[in-house]
Chains A and B, each alone.
Chain A
Amino acid sequence: MEKIIFYALALIMVGSAIASVSSRKMLRSVIYLLFVLIGVAGLYFMADYNFLAAIQLTVYAGGIIVLIIFSVLLVHHIDMELEVVKKSKRVLAALTCLAGLAVFLTTIYSHPFAAAQTAVTTTTADIGMKLLSYGEGGFILPFEVISVLLLAAMIGAIAIAKGGKVGDGGRVVKEHIEHTTPAKADKAEKITVYPLEKEPAVAEPETALLEETTN
């Protein structure tokens, strides 16, 4: 029974992974990637590690994939197809992939895997205790370090979203804050100055992009 489920999951994951890199439609690639991530969650469920499986679903399938879909929706139109890269690049990519696969396989096959005797279900209480314990085998230090890292990332994101300071030598780009904001006209538009070197990420409102791509 478990074997059947495992092979079904593995087949889905491998198949979608291949489809994900070979599909020429961007959003389809993302959806195949989603299937791979859901398959990984399925493996965690099989290993009876429900918490990790739920995290996998929330963070990767629900969070990261949604963000990727969002960015694809903004830049990509339904008619577009990704172009095929040059042959030399393809060969290079294939060689790199093979090298990675070789390293991976040798590591897997040189490691002696022992079957677990008793299946233990990890509960959230166990995880919480370990995470906050500073004794033997506790994870309080990595936990705190990661929280500092996340804080830094958050501040960085805010700093980027706020945009650079208004300086000289910049280009003035009109930017709508929100395409659906029916607030007063003077409020809805704000003037942002971008440095010359950088291209603005999305300078036009979403609706303009939509109209442009449908032509």
Chain B
Amino acid sequence: MNIPLNISGPLHNWLFAILPPAAAGIFEMVIMALVYLAIFAVAGLFLVLLERKVAAWFQLRLGPNRVGYFGLMQTMADALKLVSKELTGTEKADKFLYNLAPYFVIITALMALAVIPFSSGFQAFDINIGVFFIIALSSIGVIGILLAGWSSNNKFAMIGAMRSGVQTISYELSVGLSLLTMILLTGTPQLSGIVEVQKNGWLIVQGHIPALIAFMIYMIAGTAETNRAPFDLVEAESELGAGFHTEYSGMKFAYFFLAEFINMFIIAAVAVTVFFGAWLSPFGITESIPWLGVFWFLAKTLAIVFLMMWFRWTFPRLRVDQLLKLEWKYLLPLNLMNIVLMALIVWLNLTIQF
């Protein structure tokens, strides 16, 4: 097992200079894990704030504006409040599964972050199956939701969990197939390889028509995967209370909440990596300053996150039958045809290269 940890060189060299190799390796992993945890716990909180601000903007309100400057500290304060809250549960809940469920959701969300290339040196785990690894992890997250719904011993939670299962299993297919379409173009599922290919133009330009179709399908399916509106019938407030996490309180609820936002970030980050050139700057304008890669990556990701929030506050919720019809009768056949189209374009060399 060799895990290629791509952190900045100086830290790596320094650790291996003062410690024996085995201990240094472990220390490196622990430090990376802590850094990622700290960054993304805070980033997730700020995404929540962003969501509330965007919602307020769409509804002509002000949004949170009391805690901190312009309400910037609002979600941090919320998190502190959630930590101090009592953990409640239903009487006949299956305690073991009830306590286990949030960790499934949050751990898979955080693990998927490891493979995302934030810049040329800032990628924790450059595994050779990159894209596929993310798909595999996202297929496990749904187990946490199903468990949460069942073990709460609550009808609404159960119905929410069942809906979530149906939805995630269906839309996983579209996410996978649309990413597969792009892999036809890049020839490798490794994320650093995908970035490398895009130095000749972002994939959405290189693959023009099929890439655009794949991107649209990916965004629809990605929004559905994260259980966000218009596909939020998992936690439809007007029908189900709060869906699968009705019975959760305090930090365990916060895990679900945070995981939702981290998943949204991952969907956006993968979209940026696969379609919009990851950390590459547009037209290579800042190619000589490599550390700006993080800035470009985050800028593009936030743009896509904003797009997803825009969806949320614009479209009304779908019904279950409409949801399934959309996936199985429209997106899936379209996706399969799109793959053939992409294969043709790659075969006939009709891609646009700069």
The chain A residues found within 8 Å of chain B, CB to CB, are 1-2, 5, 25, 27-28, 31, 34, 38, 45-48, 50-51, 54-55, 57-58, 61-63, 65-66, 69-70, 72-73, 78-79, 119, 121, 123-125, 178, 180-183, 206-207, 210, 214
Contact = CB atoms under 8 A, between A and B. Distances in A.
Contacts of B146: 66, 69-70, 73
B143 A65 contact: yes
B93 A57 contact: no
B150 A78 contact: yes
Nearest to B137: A57
B62 interface: no
B211 interface: no
A66 B133 contact: no
CB-CB nearest 7 A-B residue pairs: A62-B139, A57-B136, A54-B136, A58-B136, A180-B320, A46-B1, A54-B132
Contact of B140 (A55, A57, A72, A183): A57
B225 to A, nearest CB: 12
Given A45-B1, A48-B2, A121 B162 contact: no
Contacts of A65: 143
A27 B165 contact: no
Contacts of A70: 146, 162, 165
A142 B30 CA distance: 43
A60 to B, nearest CB: 10
A154 to B, nearest CB: 14
- A interface, by DSSP: helix, strand, loop or mixed? helix
Nearest to A56: B136
A214 B97 contact: no
A210 B96 contact: no
Interface in B71-130: 92-94, 96-97, 100, 127-129
Contacts of B137: 57
Range class of the B interface residue count: 35 or more
B321 A54 contact: no
Given A28-B97, A78-B93, A180-B319, A1 B188 contact: no
Given A70-B162, A73-B150, 17 more contacts: A1-B26, A38-B140, A54-B136, A58-B139, A61-B143, A66-B139, A66-B143, A66-B146, A69-B147, A70-B146, A78-B93, A78-B151, A119-B2, A180-B321, A181-B319, A181-B320, A182-B319
A76 to B, nearest CB: 9
8 contacts: A28-B94, A28-B97, A58-B136, A66-B169, A125-B187, A181-B321, A183-B321, A210-B155
Nearest to B169: A66
B153 A78 contact: yes
B129 A2 contact: no
B208 to A, nearest CB: 25
B321 A178 contact: yes
Contacts of B165: 66, 69-70
A178 B320 contact: yes
A48 B22 CA distance: 18
A28 B22 CA distance: 36
Nearest to B321: A181
Nearest to B90: A78
A1 B2 CA distance: 11
Contacts of B320: 178, 180-181
Contacts of B163: 180
A61 B139 contact: yes
Contacts of B92: 78-79
A104 B331 CA distance: 46
A178 B319 CA distance: 11
A207 B93 CA distance: 19
Nearest to B172: A62
Contact of A1 (B25, B139, B159): B25
B243 interface: no
A125 B139 contact: no
Contacts of B254: none
A180 B160 CA distance: 11
A178 B322 CA distance: 12
Contacts of A46: 1
B54 interface: no
Given A27-B97, A73-B162, A123-B128, A5 B142 contact: no
Contacts of B26: 1
B342 to A, nearest CB: 16
A114 to B, nearest CB: 19
Contact of A31 (B128, B147, B153): B147
Contacts of B143: 34, 61-62, 65-66, 69
Interface in B149-171: 149-151, 153, 155, 158-159, 161-163, 165, 169
A134 B43 CA distance: 50
Interface string B199-225: 000000000000000000000000000
Contacts of B94: 25, 27-28, 78
Contacts of B133: 50, 54
Nearest to A61: B140
